[in-house]
Structure 1
C-alpha cells in the first residue's frame, strides 16, 4: 500500500462519514423510521442495498476461492439471482398489503404466534453464528492479506482489522438505523462494482485474455467423469455438484434467500410504495448478474496465473497446499497499481461493511419487533428505537465474542455454511410458498412445515459434524440418508417432504377463515388491492424482467 492508496481510502471514509452524519441528523422518530427508513426508499436505494447487503465474505473469499478451486460450479448460486424478480412480482404485493416490519410478523398474520416465534429464533441464531461470524472472520483475513501486515503494535493484525470493521459498522448502524444502511449502500455499490471491474480487466490482461483462462482451466479435471473447471453442468454422478442437484438445490436456497429472508426482504419493505419496491428488485436483479464475472471469474484468473507461474502466484499453507480462498485479495495485492489498489480496498471495505450493517439492522429489528414489542406492546416508538440500538450493541458484542471460535474452526464452519443454508431453506420456503399460493393452508400446517424442516435440518447438521470427525463409523441407513446423500439432492427432497407435511396437516385441520387470510393469499385480494397492484407496473418493468431472464438463459447456454 502506497501513499496514494491511503489518500483514496481516506477520501472514501470521509464521504462515508458525511453520509452517516447527514442520516443521523434526519431524526428517527419512530420504529418505522429506524428499521425501515420511514418506508420512503426509492428503487435505486432499494436495489443498491439489496446488492450491497448480499455481497459479503462469501463472495470476496468464498466465490473467488471457489472459482480458483472448482471453476464454474458455484455460478449456479449467483445466477439464480433472477429469483429477486419473484420477490418483486409475486411477494411484494402481499408483504406491502400486510404492512409488516418482519417476515416472522407476516407468518403470524398468515398462520399463528408460534410460527412467528419459530422463524424469529431460527433467523437470529443463524445471523449471529453464521452470517455475522463468517463476514467478520473473512474481513480480518482479507485485510491481513491485502495490507500484508502480520502484527501492529504487537497485536495480530487480524484482530485489529476484524474488530475495527465491526465497531465502525456498528456505530453508523446503531445511530443511523436503516437509512444509514440504504444511503451508504448508494455510495458503496458503485465503488465495489468499479473496483471489482478493474480487477477483472487487469487480471485478464495479466493472464493474456479470456482465451488463456479457458485454455488453462479447461484441461483441469474436477471429477472422474470427464468434467473440467469450465463446465457449469456436471455429470449426475459428480459427488459435489451434479447438474440436476445444483439446479434444484440452488433454486430452493435462492427462493428462501431472495423471497423470504428478513436480511433481504427488509430492503424491499423500506420502499415508499409497491412500484418503488418492485423496481428496486428489478434493479437488484440486474446488479446480481455481475458477481459471476467480478468475483468467480477473477478466481479462475488467479488459478490460471498460478498455473502459469509454476504455483508461485497464490500463497500456500504449512502443508504446501494452495490457499484458493486467498485468490481475490492476492489479485488485489499483486496486480493493481497504486491508487487503484486503494479504490479496490474501498470496494472490499464497502462490501463487508454494508453486509454487516444489514445484518446488524435486521437482527436488531427481529429482536425488537418480534420479541420485545410482543412482550410489551404498549412501549412507545422512541423506546423501541432505543431498544433496537441496544439490541444492535448486544449483537455486535456477540459477534466479537464469536471471532475466536470462528477463527479456530474458520475453514470448517465456512465449508458448512452452504450446508447450513441448504437445510435452513426448505422448511421456511415450504411455509411461505404454500401459505401464499394455497388458501387451504392452515396455521398448524404452516407451523409443522417449519418445525419438520428445523428438526430434519438439525439432524443433518449433527450427522455432518459427527461423521466428519469419526473415522470408523459403520454404514447404516441413517448415515446413508443424513450424511452420504448428496447435499443438493437432500435439499430438494427436504423441500418436497416439508411441503407434504404442510399439505397433510392442513387437510387434517380446520381451514382458515376468509377474513384471516384476506389479501395474504392468491385469490383473496379485494378489487381495490388488485387495481393498486396493476397500477404499480408498466411495460418497461416487464421488458426489463424479460431481459434479465434472457441474460440468465444465455449464460447457461454459453457455459453448458
Structure 2
C-alpha cells in the first residue's frame, strides 16, 4: 500500500501553491488581460524561452504523468515514439506553418481558414470540431488522470501542472531505477514481470516490450508509428489552437523558431522521466500494476479493466521520503493547472472569436471575454460527463485513449490545413465537404468503439472486427488520405480561388509582397492588436531578461507596432516589409535545429 501523505508533504504542497498564486497575481498586475490580444495571446511579447517552455508545458499535462507511465508499464518502450516523433514535427511548426500563420495575421486557426477560403461555413465547423476535441480528448483526460493521482495520494480531488517537474522527477526517476537494480536490470527483468498466480492469455509483458518499432499486428505497429502518428502529431503540433497559440504569442518569428527548438530538446525527457519509471513500477508492484483479472484489478485500484494507470502515483507515494513526496505531488498538482489553463485559453478564444462573434457580430471586447470565460465552465461540465468513457476505453490505458481519439477526429483537420497551405487549387467547397465527410467517417469508427468497447486481452470487446479491427494509427492514415481525396475531387468541380486572395496564405506565395484581398472581410475589434504580416524581430528594449540566457535579437520593432498593418478598406491586407533579422542568431537557431534533428535520429535508431 502506498504511504500516506504526511504534514511535511502537505506543507511543501501548500508552499508551492502559495508561490504559484503569488506569481500569478504579479503577472496579472504586470500584463494586460482586458483586451483580446492580452488575454488570449499574452500581448504578443513572449520571448523564445517563454515560447519553448509554454509549448512544453501545454503539452505535458497530467495525462502524460499518468498515461505515459501507465502505457510504459503495460506495453513497454514503444510509447516513447509518441514523444520523440514530436521533435521532427516541431521543426515543421517553426519553419513551415508558424511563418504562414503569423504572416496571415489570424488570431485563431479557424480565422486562418476564413482568410484562406472565405469560409463562412468552414470556420464555425472547424471551431466546433476543435471544441469537441478539447472536451473529449484533452480536458476530460487531464481531470481523469489528476483524479487517479489524488485518489492514490490524498483521497480528494485537485488539478495538475508541470512547474518543478524536472528536478523533482529526476529524483524520483533515479530512486525508481535504483530500486529495480538500474537500467540494465530493467531491460532484463521487465519482460518477465508477472503478478502472483498469473494465468490466462495475457499475464506477462509482450515479448517486444523493449523495442520501439514493432511488426504489424502488434499493439503499436511500426507503420502506424511512422505514418499514422505523423498525421496525428501534425494535427496536434501544427494545426491545434492550444499549441499554435503559443507561437502566435511570440514576439517574432525568430523567437518562435527558437522556442520550437527548445521544446524539441525538452521532448527528450518524458521518456526517461515517465516511461522508464512506469516500466520499473511493473517490477516493483506486479500484483497491482500488472493485474489482469477484473476482480483483482477492482480491489487493487478500483478499475476492472486494468491498473497500469496507477504506476506513476504508486511509485511516487511508495518510494519517495516525506518532503520529497510532497514536492513531487506539488509538481503534479500544479501541472494539470498549466495544461488546463492552456486548453481553456485556446477553447475560449475559439468560442469567443469563431462561434460567439459569428452569432453576435456587434459584441464588444468585454462581452467576448465574458462569453469565453463562461464557455470554460461549460467545457468542464461536458468533460465531467465524458469521464466514464475515458475510464474504460482502450483497455484502461489512458495514453492509448488519448491517441485513439486523435486518430478518429483529427486527420480531417490535418488534411484540410495541409492542402490549404500546400495546394493553392483547393477551394472552400472542397475543404468544407472534405472536413464534413472526414468527420463522419471518423465518428463511424469512434462511436461503435466507445459504445461497444474494445475490451481487454481476456475479454474482447463487442465492436465488430470490420469496424474496429484496423489499428487506430492505421485508421488515421486511411482517414487522412480519404479526406485529401475528397477535398481535391470536390475542389476540381468548382472554380479556383483567384491569386489575389492567396498572398501570404499558401506556401508558394509566403514571400509575396502584393496586397491581399481578404475573402473574409472581418473588421478589427476596437483596441485589439492585429496580427497581419507579423514577422519582426525584438528591439534592444524588448530583449528577454538575462536569466533566460542569450536572447535572439534583431533590429526591428515589437509586433503590434510597425511590424503589422491591419487590413485596409475593403479587407485589403497590405504587405509590410519586416525588419531584417539578426543573421548571427538566425544561424544559431538553425544549427540548433540540425543538432536536435540528429539527437532525434540517434534516439530512434538506438531504441528501434
Rounded to whole Å, the distance in 1 between the matches of 2:454 and 2:384 is 27
Distance 1:9-1:489 versus aligned 2 partners, 3 A rule: same
- Any conservation in 1 of the 2:352–2:372 contact (CA below 8 Å)? yes
Gaps of 5+ in 2: 195-201, 298-305, 514-532, 536-576
Q: Which is richer in helix?
A: 1
CA deviations 1:113-167 (Å, max 9, x no partner) are 21111111111122123321121122111111123x3xxxxxxx3xxx1xx43xx
Rounded to whole Å, the distance in 1 between the matches of 2:179 and 2:82 is 28
Please name the residue that 2:325 is paired with.
341
- Any conservation in 2 of the 1:52–1:355 contact (CA below 8 Å)? yes
Residues matched between the structures, number: 519
Map 1:122-271 → 2, pairs under 5 A: 122-147=129-154, 149=155, 157=156, 161=157, 164-165=158-159, 189-219=162-192, 227-238=207-218, 240-271=219-250
**Which of residues 420, 431, 441 in structure 1 aligns to 2:426?**
441
Map 1:418-497 → 2, pairs under 5 A: 418-465=403-450, 468=453, 479-497=464-482
What SS is found at the alignment partner of 2:342? helix
Q: TM-score, normalised by structure 2?
A: 0.79
State which drifts further: 95-104 or 521-530.
Answer: 521-530
Distance 1:499-1:481 versus aligned 2 partners, 3 A rule: farther
- Any conservation in 2 of the 1:217–1:228 contact (CA below 8 Å)? no
CA deviations 1:471-530 (Å, max 9, x no partner) are 99999xxx5543212222221122111111122222222111112111010121345579
Please name the residue that 1:106 is paired with.
112
Higher-RCO chain (CA-CA 8 Å, sequence separation at least 6): 1
Rounded to whole Å, the distance in 2 between the matches of 1:65 and 1:122 is 28
Map 1:271-350 → 2, pairs under 5 A: 271-306=250-285, 311=287, 319-321=295-297, 323-350=307-334
Map 1:368-407 → 2, pairs under 5 A: 368-400=352-384, 402=386
- Any conservation in 2 of the 1:5–1:341 contact (CA below 8 Å)? yes
Map 1:520-539 → 2, pairs under 5 A: 520-526=505-511, 532=578, 535=581, 538-539=586-587
How far did residue 101 of structure 1 move?
1.6
Rounded to whole Å, the distance in 2 between the matches of 1:410 and 1:502 is 31
Distance 1:232-1:533 versus aligned 2 partners, 3 A rule: farther
Mapped pair 1:51 → 2:56: yes
**Which of residues 3, 7, 11 in structure 2 aligns to 1:3?**
7
CA deviations 1:1-36 (Å, max 9, x no partner) are 233222221221111111111122234231111111
Mapped pair 1:32 → 2:16: no
How far did residue 459 of structure 1 move?
0.6
Gaps of 5+ in 1: 150-156, 170-187
What SS is found at the alignment partner of 2:509? coil
How far did residue 462 of structure 1 move?
2.5
Distance 1:426-1:396 versus aligned 2 partners, 3 A rule: closer
Distance 1:324-1:492 versus aligned 2 partners, 3 A rule: same
Distance 1:491-1:408 versus aligned 2 partners, 3 A rule: closer
Mapped pair 1:69 → 2:74: yes
- Any conservation in 1 of the 2:44–2:249 contact (CA below 8 Å)? yes
Rounded to whole Å, the distance in 2 between the matches of 1:455 and 1:81 is 27
Please name the residue that 2:24 is paired with.
20
How far did residue 329 of structure 1 move?
0.2
State which drifts further: 456-465 or 62-71.
Answer: 456-465
Distance 1:6-1:282 versus aligned 2 partners, 3 A rule: same
How far did residue 392 of structure 1 move?
2.4
**Which of residues 121, 127, 131 in structure 2 aligns to 1:120?**
127
CA deviations 1:346-381 (Å, max 9, x no partner) are 111122111111121111111100012222233222
- Any conservation in 1 of the 2:32–2:43 contact (CA below 8 Å)? no
How far did residue 88 of structure 1 move?
0.8
Please name the residue that 1:180 is paired with.
none
